[in-house]
């Protein structure tokens, strides 16, 4: 899992005014809420700095959120402005939590989970077609998946699996060959385009699909593209004979083993509300088919060594993803092993992803109570020169404690 990216975490329409909401991603727990003054979204660490209660169980008061335990009041920038038990005493400097930048775009609430200044942040993808309600009709949905988000992402952009996993929906077992595909790469994404021979359309779509009764030979091929963006986003585009279909999908890593998929599926045909349920059902059918396979993959996480699994020509886009991911790990952006949500042994320490204020406001350097998450690079000792003595001692102590438990 990686910090320093924009993460779409929720559909805008589902974040209602006046109510704090719990959001889990990257092993962290956040509270998000709308400010009373301008309705914009605030996202902050959901760990009250006093006793660790969840602010998301508290209340929104104007632009602030209050803790449900002792009523401490947090400003949108994460600073405590009121301690009801001691209204006349000064507020301690350390009475603050990390607050993260947010933006609402393409119908999602996005949170920047990291401490990079604005100009150094990776770009958000251009998903403006989602806002084109004239040419496209959209359905939205969520799908909770007990698998790792990178395994799910690779599955989503894998062209060779469709005849086997989605035979009868859009994969064609009569035609499993993957032709050479076109590749468009950027630093943050990879799009591949390929020509496929899907089976004849079924159900409602079959009514208007000119493919309906033709034999495989007569049926015109269909152009299909899929794109991944680091670290967790996918777009699947199919030029069906009826019109374009585009499925935008974010694979939100709740933790290493739990992923919340949120999708927006656009179609340029059957644009009435009457066809929404059918369109949604088709996306879920594909997700269920993929889920059976992906849940069974071992190891659960993508290996870090490229040579651990075999790659063939049609896996080019996945190999590229794994290479870029390794570069992100080498940059120190990974946040593995720090999860504070989900199953597991009881924790004695909570670490958080640092917010931009930690770097931007030097006066606050010593005002952060929670320590920063560690990266895989440091955990595995890949770059010992990057470790401080304190960090090295902490790791040594952890290793000794783990050895004693055995
Ligand atoms: S735990 Fe939040 S105010 Fe005490
Ligand atoms: Fe699939």
pLDDT tens column, 47-85: 999 999 999 999 999 999 999 999 999 999 999 999 999
> How far, in Å, CA of 186 to CA of 324, rounded?
11
State the chain's mean pLDDT as an integer. 90
The CB of 69 under 6 Å from ligand 1? The reply is yes
pLDDT band at 346 (very low <50, low <70, confident <90, very high): confident
Q: Region 78-102: what's the mean pLDDT? A: 98
> How far, in Å, CA of 106 to CA of 145, rounded?
23
CA of 350 to the centre of ligand 1 (A): 15
Indicate the CATH number of 128-325 among 3.90.380.10, 1.20.58.100, 3.40.1280.10, 3.40.50.11540: 3.90.380.10
The CB of 358 under 6 Å from ligand 1? The reply is no
* Residue 236 near residue 228, CB atoms below 8 Å: no
Using only the alpha carbons of the chain, give its radius of gyration: 23
- Ligand nearest to the CA of residue 292, numbered in listed order: 2
- Candidates 45, 55, 56, 69: which one to mutate for ligand 1, based on the most atoms within 8 Å of Cβ? 69
Which atom of ligand 1 is nearest to 55's Cα? 2
- Ligand nearest to the CA of residue 226, numbered in listed order: 2
Q: What is the pLDDT of residue 211?
A: 66
The CB of 53 under 6 Å from ligand 1? The reply is yes
At residue 238, the 3 state secondary structure works out as strand
Which atom of ligand 1 is nearest to 68's Cα? 2
Which atom of ligand 1 is nearest to 51's Cα? 1
* More confident call, 30 vs 213: 30
pLDDT band at 154 (very low <50, low <70, confident <90, very high): very high
* Residue 113 near residue 5, CB atoms below 8 Å: yes
The CATH topology of domain 5-120 is: Rieske Iron-sulfur Protein (2.102.10)
Q: What is the pLDDT of residue 384?
A: 40
Q: Region 397-406: what's the mean pLDDT? A: 56
pLDDT band at 391 (very low <50, low <70, confident <90, very high): low
The CB of 270 under 6 Å from ligand 1? The reply is no
Give nearest CA residue, ligand 1 atom 1.
51
pLDDT at 385 over 50: no
Give nearest CA residue, ligand 1 atom 4.
70
Which atom of ligand 1 is nearest to 53's Cα? 1
Q: Region 89-98: what's the mean pLDDT? A: 97
Of 235, 234, 245, nearest to 275 by C-alpha is 245
The CB of 47 under 6 Å from ligand 1? The reply is no
CA of 346 to the centre of ligand 2 (A): 36
pLDDT band at 378 (very low <50, low <70, confident <90, very high): low
> How far, in Å, CA of 59 to CA of 277, rounded?
35
Q: Region 242-262: what's the mean pLDDT? A: 96
Length of the chain: 406
| Kind and range of the H or E run holding 280 | helix 276-294
CA distances in angstroms from 104 to 40, 137, 165, 254, 259, listed in the order given = 8, 20, 35, 20, 21
pLDDT band at 390 (very low <50, low <70, confident <90, very high): low
Q: What is the pLDDT of residue 370?
A: 94
At residue 319, the 3 state secondary structure works out as helix
Residues sharing a CB contact under 8 Å with residue 76, sequence separation 6 or more, in sequence order: 35, 42, 44, 63, 64, 99
Q: Region 272-295: what's the mean pLDDT? A: 96
Phi first, then psi: what are they for 319, rounded to 5°? -65, -40
The CB of 50 under 6 Å from ligand 1? The reply is yes
Which atom of ligand 1 is nearest to 52's Cα? 1
- Ligand nearest to the CA of residue 53, numbered in listed order: 1
- Would the pTM count as exceeding 0.85? yes
Which atom of ligand 1 is nearest to 70's Cα? 3
Phi first, then psi: what are they for 150, rounded to 5°? -75, -35
pLDDT at 399 over 80: no
Of 165, 172, 158, nearest to 296 by C-alpha is 165
> How far, in Å, CA of 334 to CA of 375, rounded?
5
The 10s digit of each residue's pLDDT in 214-225 is: 676 677 788 999
Contacts of range 360-367, beta carbons closer than 8 Å, 24 or more positions apart: 360/117, 364/93, 364/96, 366/93, 367/93, 367/94, 367/96
Of 275, 289, 281, nearest to 263 by C-alpha is 281
pLDDT band at 344 (very low <50, low <70, confident <90, very high): confident
Q: Region 103-131: what's the mean pLDDT? A: 98
- Ligand nearest to the CA of residue 151, numbered in listed order: 2
The Cα angle at residue 81 between residues 76 and 82, in degrees rounded to 5: 130
CA of 145 to the centre of ligand 2 (A): 14
Q: What is the pLDDT of residue 400?
A: 60
- Supply the DSSP symbol for 387: -
pLDDT at 149 over 90: yes
Annotated domain spans of the chain = 5-120, 128-325
Q: What is the pLDDT of residue 398?
A: 60
Which atom of ligand 1 is nearest to 72's Cα? 3
Q: What is the pLDDT of residue 357?
A: 97
The CB of 84 under 6 Å from ligand 1? The reply is no
Contacts of range 320-328, beta carbons closer than 8 Å, 24 or more positions apart: 320/185, 320/190, 321/150, 321/153, 321/154, 321/157, 321/190, 321/228, 321/230, 324/187, 324/230, 325/150, 325/230, 325/231, 328/2, 328/230, 328/231
Indicate if 128-325 has the same CATH topology as 5-120. no
Per cent of the chain over pLDDT 70 is 89
């Amino acid at each position: 899992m990686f910090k320093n990216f924009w993460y779409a975490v929720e559909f805008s329409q589902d974040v209602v005014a006046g109510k704090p909401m719990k959001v889990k991603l990257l092993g962290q727990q956040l509270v998000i809420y709308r400010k009373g003054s301008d309705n914009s979204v605030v996202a902050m660490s959901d760990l009250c700095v006093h006793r660790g209660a969840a602010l998301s169980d508290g209340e929104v008061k104007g632009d602030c959120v209050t803790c449900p335990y002792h009523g401490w009041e947090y400003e949108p920038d994460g600073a405590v402005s009121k301690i009801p038990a001691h209204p006349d005493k000064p507020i301690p400097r350390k009475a603050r939590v990390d607050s993260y930048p947010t933006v609402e775009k393409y119908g999602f609430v996005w949170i920047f989970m990291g401490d990079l200044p604005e100009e150094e942040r990776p770009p958000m993808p251009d998903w403006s077609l989602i806002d084109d309600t004239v040419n496209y009709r959209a359905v939205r949905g969520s799908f909770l998946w007990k698998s790792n988000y990178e395994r799910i992402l690779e599955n989503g952009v894998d062209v060779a699996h469709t005849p086997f996993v989605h035979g009868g929906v859009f994969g064609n077992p009569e035609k499993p060959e993957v032709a050479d595909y076109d590749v468009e790469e950027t630093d943050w994404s990879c799009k591949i385009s390929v020509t496929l021979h899907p089976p004849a359309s079924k159900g409602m779509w079959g009514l208007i699909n000119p493919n309906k009764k033709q034999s495989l030979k007569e049926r015109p091929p269909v152009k299909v593209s899929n794109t991944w963006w680091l670290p967790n986003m996918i777009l699947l585009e199919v030029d069906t004979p009826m019109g374009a279909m585009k499925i935008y999908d974010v694979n939100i890593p709740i933790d290493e083993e739990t992923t919340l998929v949120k999708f927006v599926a656009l179609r340029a045909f059957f644009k009435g509300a009457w066809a929404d349920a059918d369109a949604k059902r088709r996306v879920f059918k594909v997700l269920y088919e993929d889920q059976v396979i992906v849940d069974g993959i071992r190891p659960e996480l993508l290996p870090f060594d490229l040579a651990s699994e075999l790659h063939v020509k049609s896996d080019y886009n996945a190999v590229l993803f794994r290479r870029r991911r390794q570069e992100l790990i080498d940059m120190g952006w990974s946040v593995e092993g720090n999860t504070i949500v989900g199953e597991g042994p009881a924790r004695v320490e909570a670490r958080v992803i640092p917010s931009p204020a930690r770097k931007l406001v030097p006066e606050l350097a010593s005002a952060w109570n929670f320590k920063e998450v560690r990266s895989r690079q440091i955990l595995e000792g890949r770059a010992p020169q990057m470790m401080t003595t304190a960090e090295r001692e902490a790791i040594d102590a952890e290793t000794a404690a783990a050895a004693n438990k055995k």
